């Protein structure tokens, strides 16, 4: 019997066990107590049909009203940390200018509640939710928004930096670039590679300027960025396939990873932008700011790999320029799939990322800031006691943690694992189609919370610091 609690994969002392979520996806209360509109509120108003079952961001999971209950549940299922984000348009309704006192009160209450319950808040400043007033002047295309963001970041550091010691400038900054300016899955739904490049550049500049401000203010925590790193695996060792994977990596991973950690942009990407005539507008002094204000810590979001091959056909010279002018996506035969999301499950990818960071990025301190499994129709797994038997999620987490553990044994400075997400939340245009949480949210019963089997299992994982 003594072997029952034997831990095969033990993690380093003080490992961060928890989960992650964002303001727009969980808070609800989208137009109360002084909150300004963000791009999601606006887009839902004008095109509700783009959202699964027409469910919008106005209600979501009601964290605004239920945060005390939710933080209790986090504590109950073994969280010692949690990544949240501040809603820029709640704190500064127009994006610039007046600070909303109700928002200050709310975020102070939330942060204090976390700390009182022994859950360390990791706080993100920007998680896809541009204030609508700033989007009207172009969003990240407009350099004025970089100034506005720096002022917003300073406001957050002043208000909350005495208690928050882990800050993140952006979450998955490539996503607003891809969604908003290339592939039409985020507002403003433009397809314009030139704007996409400028948006990416201004995002990196804003991150460096926030880091600079943080250091100049003498804040004593750590500040970083959260990137969704998706390893680009070539179909074969053929030089053409290898080159395709290097270029895909430069577009989608290194575009943000290199400037954030090394302070410089990948040469392959710069060369393509020059050749194709898409260099961003860069002002004097910008590159020095980026060079000298790199991150202290890196959050790594990992869901699936990217598999690529050399182009099968010549691109249409008349078509708008897109990154995939340089590669094709490759569907690997026999791949393991999450059928609900249509995503490949490739656990070793998480190890490959961590080893890459160790070998090529100075072994920067990092943690898995998101990893998770979205399942549609999860209610069918609810048993007679009312608990969702999500063994598939437990297996998914274990299979990824084994590779995180291996990377740590080989010297990676990975300090934690946060699941996406704590409770089922509103997933942008997918709304509540796929459920990701440790805790089920019943929208028909005023957002009633029920811990899933995975949540109970996570408590043991955290208590044992391994499995």
C-alpha dihedral, 385 to 391 to 392 to 393, nearest 10°: 90
Q: Which of 139, 51, 41, 50 is nearest to 90 (CA)?
A: 41
C-alpha dihedral, 278 to 283 to 289 to 294, nearest 10°: -10
Query: How does strand 81-85 pair with strand 166-171?
Result: unpaired
User: 120, 150, 370, 378: which is the annotated catalytic residue?
Assistant: 370
User: CB-based contacts of 350: which residues, under 8 Å, 6+ apart?
Assistant: 300, 302, 368, 371, 400, 403, 404, 407
- Strand 328-329: give its sheet, edge to edge: 232-234, 306-309, 328-329
**What is the C-alpha to C-alpha distance for residues 176 and 207, in angstroms, rounded to an integer?**
15
C-alpha dihedral, 17 to 129 to 257 to 427, nearest 10°: 50
Is residue 370 annotated as a catalytic residue, yes or no? Answer: yes
Which residue is it, tokens 């009203």? 65
Token readout for 402 is 């084994």
**What is the C-alpha to C-alpha distance for residues 429 and 426, in angstroms, rounded to an integer?**
8
Query: How does strand 120-124 pair with strand 81-85?
Result: parallel
Cis ω for the linkage preceding 188 (within 30 of 0) = yes
User: 113, 133, 172, 378: which is the annotated catalytic residue?
Assistant: 172
Q: Are 350 and 371 in contact (CB under 8 A)?
A: yes
Taken in order 316, 317, 319, 325, the sign of the CA dihedral is: positive
* 425 phi/psi in degrees, rounded to 5: -130, 175
> What DSSP letter does each residue of 103-171 carry, written as one string?
HHHHHHHHHHHHHHTT-EEEEES-SS--BHHHHTTTGGGSHHHHHHHHHHHHHHHHHHTTT--EEEEEE
Greatest alpha-carbon span in the chain: 70
Is residue 27 annotated as a catalytic residue, yes or no? Answer: no
52: left (phi over 0), alpha (psi -120 to 50) or beta: beta
Q: Are 132 and 41 in contact (CB under 8 A)?
A: yes
What positions carry a catalytic annotation? 172, 370
């Amino acid at each position: 019997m003594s072997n029952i609690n034997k831990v095969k994969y033990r993690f380093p002392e003080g490992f961060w066990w928890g989960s992650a979520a964002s303001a727009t996806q969980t808070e609800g209360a989208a137009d109360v107590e002084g909150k300004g509109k963000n791009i999601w509120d606006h887009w839902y108003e004008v095109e509700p049909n783009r959202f699964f079952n027409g469910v919008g961001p106005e209600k979501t999971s009601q964290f605004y009203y239920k945060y005390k209950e939710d933080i209790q549940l986090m504590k109950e299922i073994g969280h010692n940390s949690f990544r949240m984000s501040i809603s820029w348009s709640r704190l500064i309704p127009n994006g610039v200018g007046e600070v909303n006192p109700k928002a200050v009160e709310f975020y102070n209450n939330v942060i204090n509640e976390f700390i009182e319950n022994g859950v360390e808040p990791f706080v993100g400043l920007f998680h896809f939710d541009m204030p609508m007033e700033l989007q009207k002047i172009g969003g990240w295309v407009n350099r004025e928004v970089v100034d506005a963001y720096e002022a917003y970041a300073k406001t957050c550091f002043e208000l909350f930096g005495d208690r928050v010691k882990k800050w993140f400038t952006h979450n998955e900054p490539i996503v607003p670039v891809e969604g908003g300016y290339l592939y039409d899955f985020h507002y403003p739904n433009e397809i314009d590679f030139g704007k996409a490049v400028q948006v990416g550049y201004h995002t990196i500049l804003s991150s460096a300027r926030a880091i600079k401000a943080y250091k100049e203010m003498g804040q004593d925590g750590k500040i970083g960025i959260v990137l969704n790193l998706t390893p680009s695996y070539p179909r074969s060792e053929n030089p053409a396939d290898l080159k395709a994977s290097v270029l895909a990596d430069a577009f989608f991973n290194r575009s943000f990873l290199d400037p954030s950690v090394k302070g410089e942009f990948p040469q392959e990407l710069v060369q393509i932008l020059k050749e194709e005539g898409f260099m961003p507008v860069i002002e004097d002094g910008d590159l020095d700011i980026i060079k000298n204000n790199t991150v202290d810590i890196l959050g790594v979001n990992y869901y699936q790999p990217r598999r690529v091959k050399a182009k099968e056909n010549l691109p249409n010279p008349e078509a708008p320029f897109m990154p995939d002018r340089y590669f094709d996506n490759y569907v690997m035969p026999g791949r393991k799939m999450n059928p609900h999301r249509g995503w490949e499950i490739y656990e070793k990818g998480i190890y490959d990322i961590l080893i890459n960071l160790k070998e090529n990025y100075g072994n920067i301190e990092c943690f898995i800031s998101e990893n998770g499994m979205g399942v549609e129709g999860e209610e069918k797994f609810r048993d007679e006691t009312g608990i969702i038997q999500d063994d598939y999620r437990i297996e998914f987490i274990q299979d990824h943690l084994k590779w995180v553990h291996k990377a740590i044994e080989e010297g990676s400075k990975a300090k934690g694992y946060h699941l996406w997400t704590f409770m089922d939340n509103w997933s942008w245009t997918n709304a509540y189609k796929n459920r990701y949480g440790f805790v089920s949210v019943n929208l028909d019963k005023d957002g009633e919370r029920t811990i899933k089997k995975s949540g109970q299992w996570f408590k043991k994982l955290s208590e044992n610091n391994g499995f």
